[in-house]
Structure 1
Amino acid sequence: MDERSGHRLISARGLAAMLAVLSAVALAGCDTVPGGELAAVDVAQGSSQNISSLSAVVQRNPNDPEAYNVRGSAYGRGGRYREALQDFNKAIELRPNFYQAYSNRALIQRFLGDQSAALSDYNRAIQLNPNYDAAYIGRGNLYRKAGQTQQAFNDFQKAIQLDTTDPRAYHNRGLIYQSQGQHAFAIEDFSTAISLAPDSPEPYNGRGLSYLAMNDDTNAFADFNTSIKLDGRIAESWANQALVYEKRGERQKAAKSYAEAVRIDPNYAPARDGLARVRAG
């Protein structure tokens, strides 16, 4: 085997295997959203203390649809989806053309597993306000998770054409470009998402995978390290870092990073498979 900088280089056969692994990881990454769709706002808004304050507002203003919409959003961020659904239902009952509440309810319907109801609510929100970017992004995610890639792309594209400042539109369009092997376009979108949400680790992971696919290991490694620095609790970040180590032939470092990914998420298959691969030699 050749030697470079004291590290054993991966063989041609190993490189081919690595590229296959990279494709699998990139596709797995297509199911991620920056920070989760309800985490775009401070998660403290879903705390019991904040919900108690919002409930007091609702009690003082029982006919205010805005109050129910805000509390419903807080319930959603706190994972209390049934209570969120009830509040969005009440907001829409009080204001039938409340497009933001329809879009918010659609997201809760998604989390509750009722994709048909979610799609209906997103469609209604867009019908009421054809310029509401959040509804296009939400519907785009619904389409993407259902494997309807072109419809998803069209919705993210529409949100971007509306000059959205929501990083999810760029991040998710980047994921679609990435899944199609259009890595230059993907990198551009991930970079825009990063500029809009510099503290979010997911776009760094996405951009790093596209850099890696283009054999730009240096920038890929920097992005994965940045993702870990921003949030060291994401298994994908550690597994991606391990991919670079493995590609370089640094098996011990790769094993350590894969092991950390498995510790964080024992069910993350790319990390489990990678760890087994490097330990097998």
Structure 2
Amino acid sequence: MADVRTAGTGAFRRGRMALALAALLPLAACQSAGDAMESLTRIDPAQGSAENIASLSAVIERTPNDPEAYNMRGAAYGRAGRYREALKDFDQAIALNPRSYQAYANRALIYRYMGERERALADYNQAIALNPRYDTAYIGRGELYRQAGQSGEAFRDFERAIQLDTTDPRAYHRRGLLYQASGQHQFAIEDFSKAISLAPREPYGYNGRGLSYLALGDEENAFSDFNTAIRLDDELAESWANQALVYERRGENERAARSYSRALQLDPEYTPARDGLARTRGAA
């Protein structure tokens, strides 16, 4: 298979292949971590609090023509899940400063959350046009492409962010997912490891790396990564289902069933856990 690191994104599109282990497919497909790793200009979660929004509103009352104040409050609204209010603030930030590439990228992320893909793409494109070195916009647009199945375009954007020396772990995590989906697990492990080094308290890199270890037959390292993910966040269904997969492969069906059950408690719609529980309960 062509190496996408040297052959480019065209080869990446042509070279897609199934994962070595069929049992990994449903779990790897859920390895996106999606919006869970997303951020609005990397703000602290506390910035979505009612207190912080009130404080930012007071700033806007004092300086109603400050575009950055609207951008910051929009980010806080977005963090709080108040998307319509976030859009209004980003609209105002852009009206006051049409060259605010951060506001365009932030608004694009809100459009992504709302499922308005074309608007999100237009805003990411505008952010990049205004600042071709803005890594956050490449990462956001790349994830938009990845979710749409446009793997080549996604790879190119993540690669560009990495070439810009980004310190954002999402670039490496997302590129790792693309390597993983194409069966290039050693490259995926390297990217997940880099993401972990940049965000060691986030579980997503460990889950991703664990799946690639498992695909290469390295159960010990996979199990260690899944257990680390659980220690970091024991309310993530994916981590428990991944741990259960190792137990299942080892023939420890009773333990596997318990872990799959825990995953289903956390997310009753998580299909890999439901299917795994059916398998292991029947074999126990």
Calculate the TM-score normalised by the size of structure 2: 0.91
Structure 2 CA distance for aligned equivalents of residues 107 and 225 of structure 1:
31
Is the 1:64–1:94 Cα contact (8 Å) retained in structure 2?
A: yes
Is the 1:71–1:84 Cα contact (8 Å) retained in structure 2?
A: yes
Count of aligned pairs between the two proteins? 264
For 1:9, the equivalent position in structure 2 comes to: none
Is the 1:217–1:244 Cα contact (8 Å) retained in structure 2?
A: yes
For 1:107, the equivalent position in structure 2 comes to: 109
For 2:267, the equivalent position in structure 1 comes to: 265
Is the 2:33–2:204 Cα contact (8 Å) retained in structure 1?
A: no
Structure 1 CA distance for aligned equivalents of residues 26 and 152 of structure 2:
20
Structure 1 CA distance for aligned equivalents of residues 203 and 35 of structure 2:
10
Is the 1:183–1:213 Cα contact (8 Å) retained in structure 2?
A: yes
1:38 Cα deviation after fit: 4.5
1:19 Cα deviation after fit: 2.7
Is the 1:34–1:203 Cα contact (8 Å) retained in structure 2?
A: no
Matched, 1:56 2:68: no
Structure 1 CA distance for aligned equivalents of residues 150 and 269 of structure 2:
26
Structure 1 CA distance for aligned equivalents of residues 74 and 48 of structure 2:
10
The 5 A counterparts of 1:1-281 are 19-30=21-32, 32=34, 35-38=37-40, 40-281=42-283
Structure 2 CA distance for aligned equivalents of residues 276 and 103 of structure 1:
43
Q: What is the RMSD of the two structures over their aligned residues, measured on CA atoms?
A: 1.3
Q: Calculate percent identity across the aligned residue pairs.
A: 65
The one-letter code sitting in structure 2 at the alignment partner of 1:173 is R
Runs of 5+ unmatched residues, structure 2: 1-19
For 1:4, the equivalent position in structure 2 comes to: none
TM-aligned CA distance change 1:257 to 1:38, over 3 Å: farther
Structure 1 CA distance for aligned equivalents of residues 149 and 119 of structure 2:
18
Bigger Rg, which one: 1
Structure 1 CA distance for aligned equivalents of residues 161 and 146 of structure 2:
15
Is the 2:41–2:106 Cα contact (8 Å) retained in structure 1?
A: no
Structure 2 CA distance for aligned equivalents of residues 150 and 194 of structure 1:
24
Is the 1:30–1:179 Cα contact (8 Å) retained in structure 2?
A: no
TM-aligned CA distance change 1:201 to 1:133, over 3 Å: same
Structure 2 CA distance for aligned equivalents of residues 19 and 133 of structure 1:
34
1:42 Cα deviation after fit: 2.3
Runs of 5+ unmatched residues, structure 1: 1-17
TM-aligned CA distance change 1:43 to 1:208, over 3 Å: same
Is the 1:26–1:179 Cα contact (8 Å) retained in structure 2?
A: yes
Calculate the TM-score normalised by the size of structure 1: 0.92
1:23 Cα deviation after fit: 2.0
